[in-house]
Amino acid sequence: MDAFKLLTRSIKLKPASAASDSRLPSTGKAVNPQLFRTAETDKLESAKNGKKRKRGAAVQQDEEDIPDLDFFSSNKRPAVSVTQPVALTEDDEKVPAQDAASDDDESMDEVERRTILNSHKIKVTDMRDLEKIQAQPTSTTDSKKKKKKSKKEEAPTLSKKEQKRARRLFPEPLLNFKELRSKYKISSRLAENVADQGFTVPTEVQLGTLPLLLGQSSEPDLLVVAPTGSGKTLSFLIPVINKIVRHHHSNPNEHGILSLVVAPTRELASQIVNEGRKLVAGTGVKITLMRKGMRVGDYGDANVLDENNEESSGSEDEDAENKPAKERANIPVTKSDILVTTPLMLVNALSANRTTTMATLPLVRSLVMDEADVLLDPLFREQTLDIWKSCSHPDLRVGLWSATMGSNIEDLTKSTIRERLEDLGQKPSETHPLLRLVVGLKDSAIPNIDHKLVYAATEQGKLMGLRQLLRPAAASPSDIRLRPPFLIFTQTIPRAVALHSELKYDIPAEAGGSSRIAVLHSDLSDSQRSDIMRDFRKGEIWILVTTDLLARGVDFRGINGVVNYDIPNSAAVYVHRVGRTGRAGREGGIAVTYYTKEDIPYVKSIANIIDVSEKLRGGEEGDKSIQKWLLDALPNLSKNSKKDMKRHGVKARQAPRLTDKEDDGKGTRGMRISTKSGFERRLENKKRGAIEASRNRKAAAAASGNVSDTGSWGGLDD
């Protein structure tokens, strides 16, 4: 029997069918990017859409026309000159007459709204204190509901269930992208740019959040928890850009950073800029990636850098970081409407590397925190809160977006909003609401990927398993089949480097050899990082070994899967890592997680996530990959151990010595990434020792003049 099969008894492997290839995310068609919907709502929505089609000027593209999402495609769209006139002219404000006229009579009643939101598993909650909700109900509920609610809330004490019900909101959903223009009257240029991307059906998060952020009622602060790959970027960028277009229209003389988007990694920040550039084309809005040395805050001078010259001024900016304060004062302040940044880079720019008090960002009206839970995690918290406080405009709105969000983050958000308002002398009840929108089950993995949790017993077992994945042709029909492109996650940088060197030559030369596999981590230079990202996106690199640097936010179109070579540090990290596949509703992505003896204490939370995701997917009990006996047998982790794991990962894997060539201290022995057995390594070490001793002897003999002159054998090259 295959040794590897013995190690994978905990998982049910289904025979791979010939048809499985066509289900690969990189080859398959993303028929519908939505993850949750029912036949009943499909009918209701198409009835509503049908009405619009008859009346609207432009007919919406049919669902069948959605273009193939191809991993290897460059996602090119027709070039649009960024120098086109600033949008929102008189014409821009005009909405097709029929559409505008049709708006009111087509508003949905509450039953329809409830039906649609519930079937898409969208839950909107008012997060304010109940008294405040009573004092200032939001206009997203209809008036009947308000009356009912306030009567109920007059009762002296409400049960938890009643409180929950009182907080629930059923705002109008967005049925199609055409409504962005016809109903929400966004800039026509922006609407065209959205249409140019070929998106036809809004994802759940877009369906729920866009009306909230673009609607007529007071723009809320918003906490959004929505699945990985569900299109959150578009959801926050469209309202941000539209708000700036309007701002330019009403305040043509006010220029500066109006919106700030903060993301935890440079890779994600630059991806957001790329997405943003497609949307701002021709709108007159400028979006920029924060770079070292840029001046962005209110430093008390009026110099402004025109972002049109941004590229040419890049190298000067780099130098600026190291210039003395006086000279830095002469560097012009960046003129961009939207700044996308990592927290540290912006904090350093606003405080001259923490040598001065933080400068302010007085014009910022929208602060978007992408992957907000990690931005408010202890690692980044101080920096993120400093940035939040530096946004001093009274009309600031915050948006916190992620696929996972602990209740501590919600509490921190509430208290920060409250403190900020107090500092500004505003009473919370006078202002806008804080809403939370959750799509699906909070903190769960997407239901459209296959999870494989594989017991590999030892580090060697993991490597054997991974090698089988790399050679799918040699595998038996019941083995896991994972076609490149895919990502492999390790716990630490040294482990990523070691795994990369172990696998480098596993890809045959005729298939491109070692150039097909790369390693990406934060110790590489910025340019190395972006080259690798580019080559992976282009399909030149097939397998990318990486750390949690790429676990969040990064969108590679149609990668076929994710391998957790080392188990993730927490359930949330699992959700984000595996969410790099199965994006925009694509089926066929695979997430393989190996675990060893040492990992057993930490596996339960991952197994639970998989179990919930499979329940969400529906299907037969027998189709589940996690067996009940495994769930029951796995130990629960104490709170403290969970915390410890989150901070340090599996302790034994932190050991610094990891490659064969390095000495094997006892603690690291079991955690080395290598296929060689201990016996083989001992033999090698002995051989090395013997060679070393022979060299020493020769050197000693040479020193005493006793060596023969042949000197032709230099020993084994180690």
**Cα distance between residue 436 and residue 400, in whole Å:** 9
Pick 195 or 637: Cβ nearer ligand ATP: 195
Q: How far apart are CA 712 and CA 702, in angstroms?
A: 14
Helix (H) or strand (E) holding 536: helix 526-538
d(CA 445, CA 453): 14
Nearest distance from residue 583's CB to ligand ATP, in Å?
5
Question: For residue 605, what are its two tokens?
Answer: 């939370």
The minimum distance between CB 275 and ligand ATP, in angstroms, equals: 7
Q: Which helix (H) or strand (E) holds 176?
A: none
- Minimum distance, C-beta of residue 22 to ligand ATP, in the bound complex (Å): 20
In the bound state with ligand ATP, the residue whose beta carbon lies nearer, of 335 and 557, is: 557
User: Nearest to ligand ATP by Cβ — which residue?
Assistant: 231
CB of 281 to ligand ATP, least distance (A): 15
Which class for 533: exposed (0-12), middle (13-18), buried (19 or more C-beta within 10 A)?
buried
Binding site for ligand ATP (CB under 6 A): 33, 199, 201-203, 206, 228-234, 403, 553, 555, 557, 579, 583-584
Q: Which residue number, 199 or 486, has a Cβ lying nearer to ligand ATP? A: 199
* Distance of closest approach, residue 442 Cβ to ligand ATP, in angstroms: 13
Separation in Å, CA 718 to CA 488, 494, 506, 680, 697: 29, 21, 21, 15, 18
Q: Which helix (H) or strand (E) holds 544?
A: strand 543-546
Residue 205 CA to residue 34 CA, distance in Å, equals 9
Q: How far is the CB of 474 from ligand ATP (least distance, A)?
A: 33
Which of 641, 491, 640, 500 has its CA nearest to residue 568?
491
The nearest distance, CB 647 to ligand ATP, in angstroms, is 23
List CB contacts of 431: < 8 A, sequence separation 6 or more: 218, 421
In the complex, least distance from residue 123 CB atom to ligand ATP, rounded to whole angstroms:
17
Q: How far is the CB of 327 from ligand ATP (least distance, A)?
A: 39
DSSP string across 605-645: HHHHHHHHHHHHH---GGG-SB-HHHHHHSPPPPHHHHHHH
Residue 39's Cβ-side half-sphere holds a number of Cα atoms within 13 Å equal to 0
Nearer to ligand ATP, 201 or 562 (CB): 201
End-to-end CA distance of the chain: 36
Nearest residue (CB) to ligand ATP, 183 versus 232: 232
Residue 199 or 602 with smaller CB distance to ligand ATP: 199
Q: Which is nearer to ligand ATP, 234 or 607 (CB)?
A: 234
Cβ 261 vs Cβ 364: under 8 Å: no
How far apart (Å, rounded) are the C-alpha atoms in residues 548 and 566? 11
- Buried b / exposed e along 495-506 (16+ C-beta atoms within 10 A): bbbbbbbbbbee
CB-nearer residue toward ligand ATP: 24 or 403: 403
The number of beta carbons lying within 10 Å of the beta carbon of residue 596 is 23
Closer Cβ to ligand ATP, 173 or 297, answer by number: 173
- What is the layout of strands, in order, in the sheet containing 221-225? 168-169, 122-126, 434-439, 221-225, 397-402, 366-370, 259-262, 338-341, 287-289
Helix (H) or strand (E) holding 578: helix 571-578
Smallest distance, ligand ATP to C-beta of residue 361, A: 24
Question: Is the link from the previous residue into 485 a cis peptide, with omega within 30 of 0?
Answer: yes
User: Residue 23, Cα to own-chain centre: how many angstroms?
Assistant: 23
The residue count of the chain comes to 718
Of 244, 186, 193, 245, nearest to 216 by C-alpha is 186
Closer to ligand ATP by Cβ: residue 440 or 553: 553
- Write down the least CB distance from residue 202 to ligand ATP, Å: 5
CB 387 → ligand ATP: shortest distance, Å?
20
Nearer to ligand ATP, 495 or 586 (CB): 586
Q: What's the sign of the alpha-carbon dihedral 7, 9, 10, 13?
A: positive
State the nearest-atom distance from the C-beta of 34 to ligand ATP, in Å.
Answer: 8
- For the bound state, the minimum distance from the C-beta of residue 407 to ligand ATP, rounded and expressed in Å, comes to 19
